[in-house]
Structure 1
Amino acid sequence: MKGFKETEGIRRLQLDSGKNIVFKRDLNVQNISWRYLESEQDVLHNLNLKISKGQSIGIIGQSGAGKSTLADIILGLHIPQQGRVEIDGINIFQIPFEYSRVIGYVPQSIYLVDGTVKENVAFGLEEEKIDDNLVWQALQRARLDGFVRECEAELDTILGERGVRFSGGQRQRLAIARALYRQPQILVLDEATSALDNETESAVMDAIEGLYGSITMIIIAHRLTTVKKCDDIYEIKNGIAVRRDKSELFTS
Protein backbone atom coordinates (compact mmCIF):
# COMPACT_ATOMS: atom_id res chain seq x y z
CA MET A 1 0.00 0.00 0.00
CA LYS A 2 1.12 3.51 -0.74
CA GLY A 3 0.25 6.22 1.75
CA PHE A 4 -0.87 9.50 0.25
CA LYS A 5 -1.02 12.43 2.64
CA GLU A 6 -3.55 15.04 1.60
CA THR A 7 -2.62 18.67 2.21
CA GLU A 8 -4.92 21.45 3.39
CA GLY A 9 -6.32 19.34 6.20
CA ILE A 10 -7.71 16.58 3.93
CA ARG A 11 -7.62 13.14 5.49
CA ARG A 12 -4.99 10.55 4.58
CA LEU A 13 -5.99 8.20 1.78
CA GLN A 14 -4.38 4.77 1.42
CA LEU A 15 -3.97 3.78 -2.21
CA ASP A 16 -2.66 0.72 -3.96
CA SER A 17 -0.67 2.16 -6.88
CA GLY A 18 -1.83 -0.68 -9.11
CA LYS A 19 -5.55 -0.24 -8.52
CA ASN A 20 -8.26 2.30 -9.20
CA ILE A 21 -9.87 4.38 -6.51
CA VAL A 22 -13.27 2.94 -5.67
CA PHE A 23 -15.84 5.70 -6.15
CA LYS A 24 -18.36 5.20 -3.34
CA ARG A 25 -20.43 8.31 -2.66
CA ASP A 26 -20.28 11.54 -4.64
CA LEU A 27 -18.39 13.95 -6.85
CA ASN A 28 -18.63 17.41 -5.36
CA VAL A 29 -17.87 20.64 -7.26
CA GLN A 30 -17.43 23.31 -4.58
CA ASN A 31 -17.44 27.09 -5.11
CA ILE A 32 -15.68 26.88 -8.47
CA SER A 33 -14.63 30.12 -10.17
CA TRP A 34 -12.71 30.19 -13.44
CA ARG A 35 -11.79 32.88 -15.94
CA TYR A 36 -9.62 33.17 -19.03
CA LEU A 37 -6.21 34.79 -18.73
CA GLU A 38 -6.37 38.58 -19.09
CA SER A 39 -10.16 38.48 -18.70
CA GLU A 40 -11.80 40.48 -15.91
CA GLN A 41 -14.99 38.41 -15.89
CA ASP A 42 -15.46 34.91 -14.54
CA VAL A 43 -16.87 32.28 -16.89
CA LEU A 44 -17.87 30.26 -13.82
CA HIS A 45 -18.43 32.01 -10.50
CA ASN A 46 -18.91 30.25 -7.15
CA LEU A 47 -20.45 27.28 -8.96
CA ASN A 48 -21.59 24.33 -6.86
CA LEU A 49 -22.71 20.93 -8.10
CA LYS A 50 -23.00 17.60 -6.29
CA ILE A 51 -23.29 14.37 -8.26
CA SER A 52 -24.11 11.13 -6.49
CA LYS A 53 -22.65 7.76 -7.50
CA GLY A 54 -24.78 6.17 -10.23
CA GLN A 55 -26.59 9.40 -11.05
CA SER A 56 -26.96 10.76 -14.58
CA ILE A 57 -27.02 14.53 -14.93
CA GLY A 58 -27.44 16.74 -17.96
CA ILE A 59 -25.66 20.09 -18.32
CA ILE A 60 -27.27 22.62 -20.67
CA GLY A 61 -26.73 26.30 -21.41
CA GLN A 62 -26.15 28.78 -24.17
CA SER A 63 -22.99 28.73 -26.26
CA GLY A 64 -20.18 30.30 -24.25
CA ALA A 65 -21.94 29.78 -20.92
CA GLY A 66 -19.09 27.63 -19.61
CA LYS A 67 -20.42 24.08 -20.08
CA SER A 68 -17.24 22.71 -21.62
CA THR A 69 -15.10 24.66 -19.15
CA LEU A 70 -16.97 22.94 -16.32
CA ALA A 71 -16.40 19.59 -18.04
CA ASP A 72 -12.66 20.29 -18.30
CA ILE A 73 -12.51 21.16 -14.60
CA ILE A 74 -14.37 17.98 -13.65
CA LEU A 75 -11.98 16.02 -15.86
CA GLY A 76 -9.06 17.62 -14.03
CA LEU A 77 -7.77 19.41 -17.15
CA HIS A 78 -8.34 22.94 -15.81
CA ILE A 79 -7.41 24.03 -12.29
CA PRO A 80 -9.92 26.65 -11.12
CA GLN A 81 -8.74 29.95 -9.66
CA GLN A 82 -11.10 29.30 -6.76
CA GLY A 83 -12.78 26.24 -5.32
CA ARG A 84 -12.18 22.54 -5.62
CA VAL A 85 -13.57 19.28 -6.97
CA GLU A 86 -13.71 16.35 -4.55
CA ILE A 87 -14.36 12.67 -5.11
CA ASP A 88 -15.58 11.11 -1.86
CA GLY A 89 -14.09 14.07 0.02
CA ILE A 90 -10.67 13.90 -1.68
CA ASN A 91 -9.42 16.83 -3.77
CA ILE A 92 -8.98 15.47 -7.32
CA PHE A 93 -6.06 17.82 -7.99
CA GLN A 94 -4.12 16.12 -5.18
CA ILE A 95 -4.52 12.67 -6.77
CA PRO A 96 -4.38 13.33 -10.54
CA PHE A 97 -3.08 9.92 -11.64
CA GLU A 98 -5.47 7.93 -9.48
CA TYR A 99 -8.38 10.16 -10.52
CA SER A 100 -7.56 9.73 -14.20
CA ARG A 101 -8.30 6.01 -13.80
CA VAL A 102 -11.74 6.79 -12.39
CA ILE A 103 -13.05 9.14 -15.06
CA GLY A 104 -13.68 8.63 -18.78
CA TYR A 105 -14.38 11.10 -21.57
CA VAL A 106 -16.34 11.00 -24.82
CA PRO A 107 -15.74 14.05 -27.06
CA GLN A 108 -17.80 15.47 -29.89
CA SER A 109 -15.36 14.12 -32.45
CA ILE A 110 -13.20 11.07 -31.84
CA TYR A 111 -9.65 10.75 -33.18
CA LEU A 112 -9.38 7.47 -35.07
CA VAL A 113 -6.26 5.86 -36.50
CA ASP A 114 -6.17 3.88 -39.73
CA GLY A 115 -5.96 0.65 -37.78
CA THR A 116 -8.16 -2.12 -36.47
CA VAL A 117 -11.28 -1.88 -34.35
CA LYS A 118 -9.48 -3.22 -31.29
CA GLU A 119 -6.53 -0.85 -31.76
CA ASN A 120 -8.95 2.07 -31.78
CA VAL A 121 -10.99 0.86 -28.82
CA ALA A 122 -7.87 0.19 -26.72
CA PHE A 123 -6.20 3.30 -28.13
CA GLY A 124 -2.65 3.85 -26.89
CA LEU A 125 -1.93 0.25 -25.93
CA GLU A 126 0.48 -2.00 -27.78
CA GLU A 127 -1.40 -4.76 -29.60
CA GLU A 128 0.00 -7.54 -27.42
CA LYS A 129 -1.36 -5.76 -24.33
CA ILE A 130 -4.91 -5.42 -25.65
CA ASP A 131 -7.49 -7.61 -23.90
CA ASP A 132 -9.90 -8.82 -26.60
CA ASN A 133 -12.51 -9.78 -24.01
CA LEU A 134 -12.54 -6.25 -22.60
CA VAL A 135 -12.81 -4.87 -26.14
CA TRP A 136 -15.88 -7.02 -26.79
CA GLN A 137 -17.40 -6.00 -23.47
CA ALA A 138 -16.88 -2.32 -24.29
CA LEU A 139 -18.36 -2.78 -27.77
CA GLN A 140 -21.36 -4.59 -26.32
CA ARG A 141 -22.06 -1.83 -23.81
CA ALA A 142 -21.73 0.73 -26.62
CA ARG A 143 -24.10 -1.41 -28.73
CA LEU A 144 -21.60 -1.78 -31.53
CA ASP A 145 -20.70 -5.45 -31.05
CA GLY A 146 -23.38 -6.69 -33.45
CA PHE A 147 -22.02 -4.63 -36.32
CA VAL A 148 -18.42 -5.65 -35.62
CA ARG A 149 -19.34 -9.35 -35.48
CA GLU A 150 -20.88 -9.01 -38.93
CA CYS A 151 -17.53 -7.82 -40.30
CA GLU A 152 -15.41 -10.65 -41.67
CA ALA A 153 -12.32 -9.68 -39.66
CA GLU A 154 -14.32 -8.72 -36.53
CA LEU A 155 -11.93 -7.00 -34.09
CA ASP A 156 -9.23 -6.91 -36.77
CA THR A 157 -11.46 -4.95 -39.16
CA ILE A 158 -9.59 -1.94 -40.55
CA LEU A 159 -11.46 1.34 -40.02
CA GLY A 160 -9.75 3.32 -42.77
CA GLU A 161 -8.38 6.83 -42.46
CA ARG A 162 -10.32 8.71 -39.75
CA GLY A 163 -12.74 5.79 -39.56
CA VAL A 164 -14.10 6.40 -43.05
CA ARG A 165 -15.54 2.87 -43.27
CA PHE A 166 -17.80 3.53 -40.27
CA SER A 167 -20.82 5.82 -40.22
CA GLY A 168 -20.96 8.89 -37.97
CA GLY A 169 -23.10 7.08 -35.43
CA GLN A 170 -20.82 4.05 -35.43
CA ARG A 171 -17.79 6.28 -34.89
CA GLN A 172 -19.44 7.88 -31.87
CA ARG A 173 -20.34 4.49 -30.43
CA LEU A 174 -16.71 3.54 -30.97
CA ALA A 175 -15.79 6.64 -28.93
CA ILE A 176 -18.04 5.37 -26.15
CA ALA A 177 -16.46 1.91 -26.37
CA ARG A 178 -12.99 3.46 -26.15
CA ALA A 179 -13.95 5.26 -22.95
CA LEU A 180 -15.58 2.12 -21.52
CA TYR A 181 -12.54 -0.06 -22.26
CA ARG A 182 -10.75 1.72 -19.42
CA GLN A 183 -13.64 0.76 -17.11
CA PRO A 184 -14.33 4.24 -15.74
CA GLN A 185 -16.61 4.84 -12.80
CA ILE A 186 -17.57 8.33 -14.03
CA LEU A 187 -18.18 9.19 -17.68
CA VAL A 188 -18.23 12.73 -19.11
CA LEU A 189 -19.77 13.26 -22.54
CA ASP A 190 -19.10 16.73 -23.96
CA GLU A 191 -21.48 17.48 -26.85
CA ALA A 192 -20.89 13.86 -27.90
CA THR A 193 -23.92 13.75 -30.23
CA SER A 194 -24.21 17.38 -31.33
CA ALA A 195 -22.73 16.76 -34.79
CA LEU A 196 -25.17 13.93 -35.57
CA ASP A 197 -28.54 14.15 -37.27
CA ASN A 198 -31.61 13.44 -35.14
CA GLU A 199 -32.03 9.82 -36.25
CA THR A 200 -28.37 8.95 -35.72
CA GLU A 201 -28.31 10.76 -32.38
CA SER A 202 -31.30 8.72 -31.24
CA ALA A 203 -29.44 5.48 -31.96
CA VAL A 204 -26.33 6.67 -30.12
CA MET A 205 -28.40 7.90 -27.17
CA ASP A 206 -29.93 4.43 -26.88
CA ALA A 207 -26.42 3.14 -26.19
CA ILE A 208 -25.68 5.96 -23.73
CA GLU A 209 -28.98 5.58 -21.87
CA GLY A 210 -28.29 1.86 -21.54
CA LEU A 211 -25.41 2.82 -19.24
CA TYR A 212 -27.56 4.85 -16.84
CA GLY A 213 -27.29 3.55 -13.30
CA SER A 214 -24.17 1.47 -13.93
CA ILE A 215 -21.86 4.47 -14.37
CA THR A 216 -22.10 8.01 -13.06
CA MET A 217 -22.88 10.09 -16.16
CA ILE A 218 -22.29 13.79 -16.84
CA ILE A 219 -23.73 14.79 -20.22
CA ILE A 220 -22.97 18.21 -21.70
CA ALA A 221 -25.54 18.88 -24.40
CA HIS A 222 -26.77 21.47 -26.86
CA ARG A 223 -30.10 19.78 -27.50
CA LEU A 224 -32.57 19.36 -24.66
CA THR A 225 -33.69 16.01 -26.03
CA THR A 226 -30.18 14.65 -25.43
CA VAL A 227 -30.58 14.95 -21.66
CA LYS A 228 -34.30 14.25 -21.38
CA LYS A 229 -33.83 10.92 -19.57
CA CYS A 230 -31.14 12.14 -17.17
CA ASP A 231 -31.98 12.03 -13.47
CA ASP A 232 -31.37 15.76 -13.11
CA ILE A 233 -30.69 18.66 -15.47
CA TYR A 234 -28.66 21.77 -14.63
CA GLU A 235 -28.40 24.95 -16.67
CA ILE A 236 -25.16 26.94 -16.62
CA LYS A 237 -26.28 30.56 -16.45
CA ASN A 238 -24.44 33.62 -15.17
CA GLY A 239 -21.59 31.38 -14.08
CA ILE A 240 -23.57 29.09 -11.78
CA ALA A 241 -25.39 25.75 -12.12
CA VAL A 242 -29.16 26.04 -11.73
CA ARG A 243 -31.21 22.87 -11.32
CA ARG A 244 -34.10 22.87 -13.79
CA ASP A 245 -37.53 21.36 -13.38
CA LYS A 246 -37.81 18.63 -16.03
CA SER A 247 -41.59 18.95 -16.17
CA GLU A 248 -41.21 22.60 -17.18
CA LEU A 249 -38.43 21.94 -19.69
CA PHE A 250 -40.33 19.23 -21.52
CA THR A 251 -43.90 20.52 -21.37
CA SER A 252 -45.33 20.04 -24.85
Structure 2
Amino acid sequence: MELSTDDARLGSGKMGYGCKHYRRRCMIRAPCCSQIFHCRHCHNESTKDSHAMCRFEVETVICAICGTEQRVAQACSNCGINMGEYFCEICKFYDDDIEKGQFHCNECGICRVGGRVNFFHCKKCGSCYSNSLLNKHSCVENSMRHHCSICYEYLFDSLKETTVLQCGHTMHSDCLNEMLKHEKYSCPICSKSIMDMSSIWKKLDEEIEATKMLENYRSRKVWILCNDCNDTTEVIYHFIGQKCSHCHSYNTRKTSAPVIPQ
Protein backbone atom coordinates (compact mmCIF):
# COMPACT_ATOMS: atom_id res chain seq x y z
CA MET A 1 0.00 0.00 0.00
CA GLU A 2 1.34 3.44 -0.95
CA LEU A 3 1.93 5.78 1.99
CA SER A 4 1.41 9.55 1.88
CA THR A 5 3.82 12.11 3.35
CA ASP A 6 1.25 12.61 6.14
CA ASP A 7 1.75 8.94 7.00
CA ALA A 8 5.48 9.61 7.15
CA ARG A 9 5.03 12.41 9.68
CA LEU A 10 2.82 10.17 11.83
CA GLY A 11 5.70 7.70 11.99
CA SER A 12 8.18 10.27 13.31
CA GLY A 13 9.23 10.76 16.90
CA LYS A 14 12.15 9.64 19.04
CA MET A 15 10.97 6.04 19.55
CA GLY A 16 8.08 5.80 17.08
CA TYR A 17 9.65 5.73 13.64
CA GLY A 18 10.52 3.09 11.12
CA CYS A 19 8.97 -0.37 11.06
CA LYS A 20 9.38 -3.75 12.75
CA HIS A 21 12.55 -4.34 10.71
CA TYR A 22 14.49 -1.09 11.19
CA ARG A 23 14.40 2.23 13.03
CA ARG A 24 14.91 5.07 10.56
CA ARG A 25 13.67 8.56 9.69
CA CYS A 26 12.77 7.94 6.09
CA MET A 27 10.84 5.72 3.74
CA ILE A 28 11.87 4.47 0.32
CA ARG A 29 10.19 4.58 -3.05
CA ALA A 30 10.42 1.11 -4.54
CA PRO A 31 12.06 1.30 -7.99
CA CYS A 32 10.07 -1.72 -9.20
CA CYS A 33 6.53 -0.48 -8.52
CA SER A 34 7.00 3.19 -7.46
CA GLN A 35 5.14 2.61 -4.18
CA ILE A 36 6.43 3.90 -0.84
CA PHE A 37 7.48 1.58 2.00
CA HIS A 38 9.48 1.81 5.21
CA CYS A 39 12.02 -0.73 3.92
CA ARG A 40 12.53 -3.44 1.32
CA HIS A 41 11.29 -6.14 3.71
CA CYS A 42 8.01 -4.26 4.16
CA HIS A 43 7.76 -4.11 0.36
CA ASN A 44 8.46 -7.84 -0.09
CA GLU A 45 5.97 -8.82 2.63
CA SER A 46 3.33 -6.60 1.03
CA THR A 47 3.80 -7.96 -2.48
CA LYS A 48 3.67 -11.57 -1.18
CA ASP A 49 6.35 -12.95 -3.47
CA SER A 50 4.85 -11.48 -6.66
CA HIS A 51 8.10 -9.55 -6.96
CA ALA A 52 11.01 -8.60 -4.72
CA MET A 53 12.67 -5.22 -4.48
CA CYS A 54 16.36 -4.76 -5.29
CA ARG A 55 17.95 -2.64 -2.56
CA PHE A 56 20.70 -1.35 -4.85
CA GLU A 57 18.23 0.19 -7.32
CA VAL A 58 16.56 2.56 -4.83
CA GLU A 59 16.99 6.13 -6.05
CA THR A 60 14.65 8.27 -3.92
CA VAL A 61 13.64 8.40 -0.25
CA ILE A 62 11.04 10.40 1.68
CA CYS A 63 12.07 12.14 4.89
CA ALA A 64 9.82 11.05 7.77
CA ILE A 65 10.22 14.44 9.49
CA CYS A 66 9.38 16.92 6.73
CA GLY A 67 8.00 14.64 4.01
CA THR A 68 10.48 15.77 1.35
CA GLU A 69 11.14 13.26 -1.43
CA GLN A 70 14.77 13.39 -2.55
CA ARG A 71 17.75 11.50 -3.91
CA VAL A 72 19.32 8.90 -1.63
CA ALA A 73 21.58 10.55 0.99
CA GLN A 74 22.13 10.31 4.73
CA ALA A 75 20.91 13.82 5.63
CA CYS A 76 17.60 15.31 4.46
CA SER A 77 18.17 17.99 1.84
CA ASN A 78 15.33 20.08 3.32
CA CYS A 79 15.39 19.82 7.14
CA GLY A 80 18.92 18.47 7.58
CA ILE A 81 17.97 15.57 9.86
CA ASN A 82 20.01 12.38 9.62
CA MET A 83 17.55 9.89 8.14
CA GLY A 84 19.69 7.09 9.60
CA GLU A 85 22.63 7.25 12.01
CA TYR A 86 24.04 4.32 10.04
CA PHE A 87 23.89 4.88 6.29
CA CYS A 88 25.27 2.79 3.44
CA GLU A 89 25.28 4.49 0.06
CA ILE A 90 25.86 1.17 -1.71
CA CYS A 91 22.95 -0.74 -0.14
CA LYS A 92 20.75 2.37 0.19
CA PHE A 93 20.37 1.29 3.80
CA TYR A 94 19.38 3.40 6.82
CA ASP A 95 19.26 2.36 10.49
CA ASP A 96 19.26 4.40 13.71
CA ASP A 97 19.96 1.40 15.95
CA ILE A 98 23.76 1.68 15.69
CA GLU A 99 24.24 -0.69 18.65
CA LYS A 100 23.78 -3.48 16.11
CA GLY A 101 27.29 -2.75 14.87
CA GLN A 102 26.38 -2.45 11.20
CA PHE A 103 29.13 -2.64 8.59
CA HIS A 104 29.31 -3.09 4.84
CA CYS A 105 31.26 -6.12 3.60
CA ASN A 106 32.61 -5.45 0.12
CA GLU A 107 33.08 -9.17 -0.55
CA CYS A 108 29.52 -10.08 0.52
CA GLY A 109 28.30 -6.98 -1.26
CA ILE A 110 25.77 -6.17 1.49
CA CYS A 111 25.63 -4.75 5.03
CA ARG A 112 26.06 -7.03 8.02
CA VAL A 113 25.52 -6.56 11.78
CA GLY A 114 27.64 -7.49 14.78
CA GLY A 115 30.73 -5.30 14.34
CA ARG A 116 33.35 -5.60 11.62
CA VAL A 117 36.09 -6.59 14.10
CA ASN A 118 34.05 -9.62 15.21
CA PHE A 119 33.75 -11.19 11.76
CA PHE A 120 35.90 -12.50 8.93
CA HIS A 121 34.90 -13.18 5.34
CA CYS A 122 35.40 -16.76 4.17
CA LYS A 123 36.00 -16.58 0.42
CA LYS A 124 35.13 -20.22 -0.24
CA CYS A 125 31.91 -20.15 1.79
CA GLY A 126 31.17 -16.72 0.30
CA SER A 127 29.98 -15.08 3.51
CA CYS A 128 30.99 -13.40 6.77
CA TYR A 129 31.36 -15.68 9.80
CA SER A 130 32.06 -15.04 13.47
CA ASN A 131 35.75 -14.97 14.42
CA SER A 132 35.03 -18.00 16.64
CA LEU A 133 34.80 -20.06 13.41
CA LEU A 134 38.10 -18.87 11.95
CA ASN A 135 40.06 -22.02 10.95
CA LYS A 136 37.43 -24.05 12.85
CA HIS A 137 34.72 -24.67 10.27
CA SER A 138 34.30 -26.96 7.28
CA CYS A 139 34.22 -24.89 4.12
CA VAL A 140 31.36 -25.50 1.70
CA GLU A 141 31.43 -23.42 -1.46
CA ASN A 142 28.78 -20.65 -1.30
CA SER A 143 27.26 -22.34 1.77
CA MET A 144 25.19 -19.26 2.66
CA ARG A 145 23.89 -18.64 -0.84
CA HIS A 146 21.07 -21.14 -0.65
CA HIS A 147 17.76 -21.60 1.15
CA CYS A 148 17.38 -22.89 4.70
CA SER A 149 16.74 -26.62 4.39
CA ILE A 150 13.93 -26.40 6.97
CA CYS A 151 11.93 -23.21 6.24
CA TYR A 152 13.37 -22.58 2.75
CA GLU A 153 14.06 -18.87 3.32
CA TYR A 154 17.12 -17.57 1.45
CA LEU A 155 19.93 -17.44 4.02
CA PHE A 156 22.44 -14.98 2.55
CA ASP A 157 20.50 -11.83 3.46
CA SER A 158 18.07 -13.26 6.01
CA LEU A 159 17.41 -11.18 9.13
CA LYS A 160 17.33 -14.33 11.29
CA GLU A 161 20.39 -15.73 13.08
CA THR A 162 22.15 -18.50 11.16
CA THR A 163 24.16 -21.46 12.47
CA VAL A 164 27.05 -23.18 10.69
CA LEU A 165 26.88 -26.94 11.25
CA GLN A 166 29.91 -29.21 11.74
CA CYS A 167 29.64 -30.31 8.12
CA GLY A 168 29.78 -26.68 6.90
CA HIS A 169 26.16 -26.42 5.77
CA THR A 170 24.01 -23.65 7.25
CA MET A 171 20.48 -23.14 8.50
CA HIS A 172 18.52 -20.77 10.71
CA SER A 173 19.32 -21.19 14.41
CA ASP A 174 15.60 -21.35 15.24
CA CYS A 175 15.09 -24.06 12.62
CA LEU A 176 18.02 -26.03 14.05
CA ASN A 177 16.60 -25.81 17.58
CA GLU A 178 13.22 -27.00 16.32
CA MET A 179 14.90 -29.92 14.56
CA LEU A 180 16.73 -30.90 17.76
CA LYS A 181 13.44 -30.85 19.68
CA HIS A 182 12.27 -33.61 17.35
CA GLU A 183 15.51 -35.57 17.98
CA LYS A 184 16.85 -35.05 14.48
CA TYR A 185 20.64 -34.92 14.74
CA SER A 186 21.82 -35.16 11.14
CA CYS A 187 22.21 -32.48 8.47
CA PRO A 188 19.19 -32.47 6.12
CA ILE A 189 21.56 -31.87 3.18
CA CYS A 190 24.47 -34.30 3.66
CA SER A 191 23.20 -36.50 6.57
CA LYS A 192 26.37 -35.96 8.66
CA SER A 193 25.97 -35.55 12.42
CA ILE A 194 25.43 -31.91 13.35
CA MET A 195 27.03 -32.06 16.80
CA ASP A 196 29.29 -34.14 19.05
CA MET A 197 27.30 -37.37 19.39
CA SER A 198 29.80 -39.35 21.51
CA SER A 199 27.55 -39.39 24.60
CA ILE A 200 24.61 -40.66 22.54
CA TRP A 201 26.78 -43.33 20.87
CA LYS A 202 27.87 -44.48 24.34
CA LYS A 203 24.23 -44.90 25.41
CA LEU A 204 23.56 -46.94 22.27
CA ASP A 205 26.58 -49.12 23.08
CA GLU A 206 25.10 -49.83 26.50
CA GLU A 207 21.63 -50.49 25.11
CA ILE A 208 22.95 -52.90 22.49
CA GLU A 209 25.06 -54.70 25.10
CA ALA A 210 21.95 -55.17 27.27
CA THR A 211 19.72 -56.28 24.38
CA LYS A 212 20.47 -59.77 23.10
CA MET A 213 19.46 -60.73 19.59
CA LEU A 214 17.63 -63.95 18.71
CA GLU A 215 19.94 -66.91 18.11
CA ASN A 216 19.48 -66.99 14.34
CA TYR A 217 20.40 -63.28 14.04
CA ARG A 218 23.49 -63.21 16.27
CA SER A 219 25.95 -64.06 13.51
CA ARG A 220 24.22 -62.11 10.75
CA LYS A 221 26.40 -59.50 9.09
CA VAL A 222 25.48 -56.48 6.94
CA TRP A 223 27.38 -53.88 4.95
CA ILE A 224 26.92 -50.29 6.12
CA LEU A 225 27.84 -46.84 4.85
CA CYS A 226 28.77 -44.32 7.53
CA ASN A 227 27.25 -40.89 6.93
CA ASP A 228 29.92 -39.26 9.11
CA CYS A 229 33.18 -40.67 7.69
CA ASN A 230 31.86 -42.13 4.39
CA ASP A 231 33.54 -45.47 5.13
CA THR A 232 31.91 -48.75 4.06
CA THR A 233 32.32 -51.69 6.45
CA GLU A 234 30.82 -55.08 7.23
CA VAL A 235 29.45 -55.34 10.78
CA ILE A 236 27.31 -57.59 12.98
CA TYR A 237 23.63 -56.70 12.53
CA HIS A 238 21.60 -55.36 15.45
CA PHE A 239 18.09 -53.97 15.17
CA ILE A 240 18.96 -51.00 17.44
CA GLY A 241 21.72 -49.79 15.16
CA GLN A 242 24.92 -50.57 13.28
CA LYS A 243 28.17 -49.04 14.51
CA CYS A 244 30.83 -47.85 12.07
CA SER A 245 34.06 -49.80 12.61
CA HIS A 246 36.11 -46.82 11.51
CA CYS A 247 34.79 -43.77 13.43
CA HIS A 248 32.41 -45.56 15.85
CA SER A 249 29.38 -43.56 14.73
CA TYR A 250 25.87 -44.99 14.66
CA ASN A 251 24.89 -42.52 11.96
CA THR A 252 24.96 -45.31 9.39
CA ARG A 253 22.75 -46.98 6.81
CA LYS A 254 22.70 -50.42 5.21
CA THR A 255 24.23 -50.65 1.76
CA SER A 256 25.28 -53.21 -0.81
CA ALA A 257 28.58 -55.02 -0.53
CA PRO A 258 31.37 -53.30 -2.47
CA VAL A 259 32.13 -54.69 -5.91
CA ILE A 260 35.65 -56.10 -6.09
CA PRO A 261 37.25 -55.66 -9.54
CA GLN A 262 38.14 -58.93 -11.25
**TM-score (normalised: structure 2):** 0.20
Compare CA radii of gyration and give the structure with the larger one.
Answer: 2
Higher strand share: 1
Higher helix share: 1
**TM-score (normalised: structure 1):** 0.20
* Greater RCO, 1 or 2 (C-alpha within 8 Å, sep 6+): 1
